[in-house]
Amino acid sequence: MSDKYRRKFHSDELIATFDDILILPGYTYFNPNEVNISSKLGKHVFNTPIFSAAMDSVTEELMAIQMALLGGMGVIHRNCTHERQLEMVKMVKRARSFVVEDVATIHLEEPVSKAKYMMENYGISGLVVLNNLKKVCGIITKRDIPFIDSSLKNGKVKDFMTKDVISISPNASREEALDVLFRHRIEKLPIIDKEGYLKGLITKKDLTPEFPLASKDEEGHLLCALALSPKFPESLEVQKKLMEIDKYVDYFFIDVADFYKEQDIRATKKLMELLESDFVLGNIGTYKAAEHLITKCDFLEDKFVGVKVGMGSGSICTTSIQTGVGAPTLFATAQVADAIEEYNPNISLIADGGFKIPGDLPKAITAGADFIMSGHFFAGCTESPGYIDTIQGRKVKVYRGMGSKEARSAGYVADRYIEDSKMLPEGVSDYVPFVGDVAGVLSSLKEGLRNGMIYAGAKTISEMKNAEIGFISVVGYGEAKPHDLIGKY
């Protein structure tokens, strides 16, 4: 165990978690509004260093879009088919950009019912219509779709589309696009070259600076991350499907409970050679595991951009109970951070799981994290998958661990845990309170992080890693909470 870990935790034997420590107050030399919580993963900087977990009851396209708009990122789960994953990552990339390059189109002879189906299932409000020469000949939006069933059944797109398409030429500026959209009171503006071929699409919502903190790529599309099995697919068909998904993904998060295994490491190296996107590897929980990944595995250095740490800390995870093995997130973060600092400071650290309150975020950053990832905070949001139920008059949503019997029975994440032990669940399913939009949740988390940094005297994430930590007794922890009051807290 490294000296730095000893300095922070003053013990070689204690495996500490969030409630065991407090950050000591520091000298604040700056104005509170100068705090900068941005953090870097690979080549991208995130204004909100918070990710939603790759769980099927937490992150699908709606959560991923909203997280990216608010400056963080949602990691789409892998408990589904590759076809479904492709649909979701496409939706994320189409959600916001100055120019949409992968434009949804339809042929003018197609039935109007197909246009309606595409709009409803792809989450879009309009389609550009092409003729036999693949040139633009119209546009059809939700407002053009007939209400009468007979028209839907027998009508064709050409019968309902708008034929006089208002467009703009390639290389037009943002100001020109805004002017055309405003003058004609339209929301979609196709980009058409002199020969009549479609080159892209500009939408009104993408030009509006509604989300100044949004996480975007170089082309203005939202950043997108996807969970990935470490297994290398031998099927050429599956390899091609992954390569197609790769076009829409910025980060692949290897998604296993314990990545410190020779089989997973070898397979991941092959995946890195097949795919172009950056990789975050995990989960791991010790200094030795991080040292091994960084110094002995020969991963492609330009693609190995992050590591995800923590094992058994999640509120719906039972790995440590079922197996007797685990690495609580705070302990794992401090251990792995020491290895990263020693061997490759360019690798980012994502602390994954075990977070209960906003005050846990600054603790994770102080222990060495660059980002935090949580399922618990976001499972009850409007944007998480599933419907809102009511139990005893209280609104709730289902939250299930990916090691739970229910999640593993789907068959797509059997390799996230020990495959030969399918009957041993390493997670549970239960309800969490419905908490409303994710924007409100993120606002509280960011305030907790910012205020913690202010009290600790840290202006940036990197400075926060130098804050001092002290252990707190059980009595001290009880004193830190509301106490000696008539009401219940």
Q: What percent of the chain has pLDDT over 90?
A: 63
Residue 264's pLDDT band (cuts 50, 70, 90): very high
Residues 52-91: b if buried by 16+ CB within 10 A, e if exposed:
bbbbbbbbbbbbbbbbbbbbbbbbbbbbbebebbbbbbbb
What is residue 489's predicted lDDT score, i.e. its pLDDT? Answer: 56
What is residue 422's predicted lDDT score, i.e. its pLDDT? 54
Look up the pTM and report it. 0.81
Residue burial 313-352, b: 16+ Cβ < 10 Å; e: rest: bbbbbbbeebbeebbbbbbbbbbbbbbbeeeeeebbbbbb
Residues above pLDDT 70, as percent of the chain = 89
Do strands 105-107 and 126-130 pair parallel, antiparallel, or not at all (unpaired)? Answer: parallel
Q: Of 47, 407, 391, 387, which is closest to residue 222 (Cα–Cα)?
A: 47
- Tens-place pLDDT, residues 369-396: 999 999 999 999 999 998 899 998 999 9
For the segment 195-215, what is each residue's pLDDT rounded down to a tens digit?
999 988 887 766 666 788 999
pLDDT at residue 6 in the model? 42
Q: Is 381 helix (H, G, I), strand (E, B) or coil?
A: strand
Two structure tokens written together for 114: 């197909």
Q: Would you state the structure tokens that stand for residue 484, as one six-digit string? A: 């000696």
Bigger pLDDT: 362 or 122? 362
Higher pLDDT, 144 or 174: 144
Among 155-159, 241-245, 332-336, 472-476, the range scoring the smallest mean pLDDT is 472-476
Which tens digits make up the pLDDT trace of 443-466? 999 999 999 999 999 999 999 999
Q: What is the pLDDT of residues 405-417, one digit of tens each?
A: 666 666 666 676 6
> Does residue 7 carry a pLDDT above 60?
no
The pLDDT-based confidence of 182 (bands split at 50, 70, 90) is confident
Give the orientation angle of helix 82-95 with respect to helix 61-69, to 10 degrees.
Answer: 30
Which of 18-22, 68-72, 177-181, 269-273 has the least mean pLDDT?
177-181
Distance of alpha carbon 279 from alpha carbon 60, whole angstroms? 19
**Catalytic center residues:** 317, 416
Could you read off the pLDDT of 224-254 as tens digits, one per residue? 999 999 999 999 999 999 999 999 999 999 9
58 compared with 143, residue with greater pLDDT: 58
pLDDT exceeds 50 at position 2: no
Q: What is the mean pLDDT of the chain?
A: 89
pLDDT at position 331 is 94
Domains of the chain, CATH where assigned? 3-96+214-480 (3.20.20.70), 105-207 (3.10.580.10)
Both structure tokens of 360: 């846990």
